[in-house]
Amino acid sequence: MAARTRLPLLFSKNLPPFKNQKLAHTEAAVKEPTYPPIVPSLTAKSKSARGRQVEDHVKKICASPVDEKLSLITRIQRKKFVVYPQTFARNADRWYQHFTKTAYIPGLPERFALDPEKRTGVEKEESSLPAGAQTTVPGVEIDAFADIRSLVTRMILQEHWHMKKRKPFLYREQEQMVGPFLRNLVTGLTYSLAKYNPLLPLSSLDIDPQVNFYWRRGQRIIPKGHRRGRQEPTRFQIDDQPHSQIRITQQLPQFTSLEASYAAEVPEVAFAPNLMPLFRRQYDNNIFTGAKLPDPACYGHTQFHLVPDRYHRDRMARQQQSDQVEVFLRANGLASLFAWTGAQAMYQGFWNHEDVTRPFVSQAVITDGQFFSFFCYQLNTVALSVETDANNPRKNLLWGTESLRLYESVQDGAVVGLNDDVVKLLVQFLVNQP
Amino acid sequence: MIRLGNPQLRIFRPNWFLTLVRPGKEQPPDTVQFRIPMEMTKCDVKNYLEKIYNVPVGAVRTRIQFGSNKKRNHLNQKVKQPDYKVAYVQLAQGQTFTFPDIFPEKERMPTEGSMEEMQEKFMEDEKQRQKLDPRRGGVTEWFGL
Residue among A271, A323, A324 whose CB faces B28 most closely:
A271
User: pLDDT digits over A363-410, tens only?
Assistant: 999 998 888 999 999 999 999 999 999 899 999 999 999 888 898 888
C-alpha A82: how far from its chain's center? 17
In angstroms, how far apart are the furthest CA atoms of chain B? 96
- pLDDT at residue number B136: 86
Inform me whether the pLDDT recorded for A13 exceeds 80. Answer: no
From chain B, the residues in CB contact with A321 under 8 A are: 58, 92
Cβ distance A271 to B59 less than 8 Å, yes or no, reads: no
What is the Cα–Cα distance from B17 to B37, expressed in whole angstroms?
7
Q: What is the ipTM of this complex?
A: 0.79
User: pLDDT digits over A182-210, tens only?
Assistant: 999 999 999 999 888 888 999 999 999 99
Kindly report the average pLDDT of chain A as a whole number. Answer: 85
User: pLDDT digits over A274-327, tens only?
Assistant: 998 999 999 999 999 999 999 999 999 999 999 888 777 777 777 766 788 888
- pLDDT at residue number B118: 87
User: pLDDT digits over A39-48, tens only?
Assistant: 899 999 999 9
Give residue A25's pLDDT band: very low, low, confident or very high (50, 70, 90). Answer: low
Nearest CA in chain A to B46: A319
Nearest to A305 by CA among A275, A339, A337, A349: A337
Cβ-based contacts under 8 A for chains A and B = 24
- pLDDT at residue number B30: 92
Residue among B26, B27, B59 whose CB faces A90 most closely:
B59
Nearest CA in chain B to A322: B93
Least confident window among A103-117, A375-389, B9-23: A103-117
Cβ distance A271 to B92 less than 8 Å, yes or no, reads: no
Q: CB burial class (10 A; 0-12, 13-18, 19+) of residue A429?
A: buried
3-state SS class at B114: coil
Cβ distance B28 to A275 less than 8 Å, yes or no, reads: yes
Specify the pTM.
Answer: 0.84
User: pLDDT digits over B49-88, tens only?
Assistant: 999 999 999 889 999 999 999 999 999 999 999 999 999 9
Contact A246, A378 (CB under 8 A): no
Contact A206, A291 (CB under 8 A): yes
Inform me whether the pLDDT recorded for A32 exceeds 60. Answer: yes
Q: What angle, 0 to 180 degrees and rounded to 10, lies between the N-to-C axes of helices A47-63 and A66-73? A: 150
Cβ distance A89 to B92 less than 8 Å, yes or no, reads: no
**b/e sequence A184-221, b meaning 16+ C-beta within 10 Å:** bbbeebbebbeebbebbeebbbbeebebbbbbbbbeee
Inform me whether the pLDDT recorded for A140 exceeds 60. Answer: yes
From chain B, the residues in CB contact with A273 under 8 A are: none
- pLDDT at residue number A28: 55
Cβ distance A90 to B30 less than 8 Å, yes or no, reads: yes
Nearest CA in chain B to A89: B59
Distances (CA, A) of A333 to A96, A154, B97, B109: 10, 28, 30, 60
From chain B, the residues in CB contact with A88 under 8 A are: 59
From chain A, the residues in CB contact with B27 under 8 A are: 271, 275
Give residue A144's pLDDT band: very low, low, confident or very high (50, 70, 90). Answer: confident
What is the Cα–Cα distance from A223 to B134, expressed in whole angstroms?
47
Which domains does chain B show, CATH number per domain?
19-91 (3.30.70.330)
Nearest Cα of chain A lies from the Cα of B140 at a distance, in angstroms, of: 41
Contact A174, A306 (CB under 8 A): yes
Residue among B26, B28, B92 whose CB faces A321 most closely:
B92
Give residue B36's pLDDT band: very low, low, confident or very high (50, 70, 90). Answer: very high
What strands lie across the sheet with A211-221, from one edge to the other? Answer: A211-221, A231-240, A80-83, A280-281
Contact A213, A339 (CB under 8 A): yes
Inform me whether the pLDDT recorded for B115 exceeds 60. Answer: yes
**A320 part of contact set with chain B, CB < 8 Å:** yes
3-state SS class at A206: strand
Nearest to A183 by CA among A164, A216, A217, A158: A158
Compute the average pLDDT of residues A222-238: 93
- pLDDT at residue number B71: 96
The residue ranges of DSSP E strands in A222-312, in sequence order, are: 231-240, 244-248, 280-281, 299-306
Kindly report the average pLDDT of chain B as a whole number. Answer: 90
- pLDDT at residue number A117: 39
C-alpha A49: how far from its chain's center? 35
- pLDDT at residue number B94: 86
Nearest Cα of chain B lies from the Cα of A321 at a distance, in angstroms, of: 7
- pLDDT at residue number A162: 86
What is the Cα–Cα distance from A85 to A93, expressed in whole angstroms?
10
Which one-letter amino acid corresponds to residue A141? E
From chain A, the residues in CB contact with B61 under 8 A are: 277
How are beta strands B31-36 and B19-21 bridged, if at all?
Answer: antiparallel
Q: To 5 degrees, how large is the angle CA A327–CA A332–CA A335?
A: 120
Inform me whether the pLDDT recorded for A170 exceeds 70. Answer: yes
Inform me whether the pLDDT recorded for B142 exceeds 50. Answer: yes
**A275 part of contact set with chain B, CB < 8 Å:** yes
Residue among A269, A275, A320 whose CB faces B93 most closely:
A320
From chain B, the residues in CB contact with A319 under 8 A are: 92
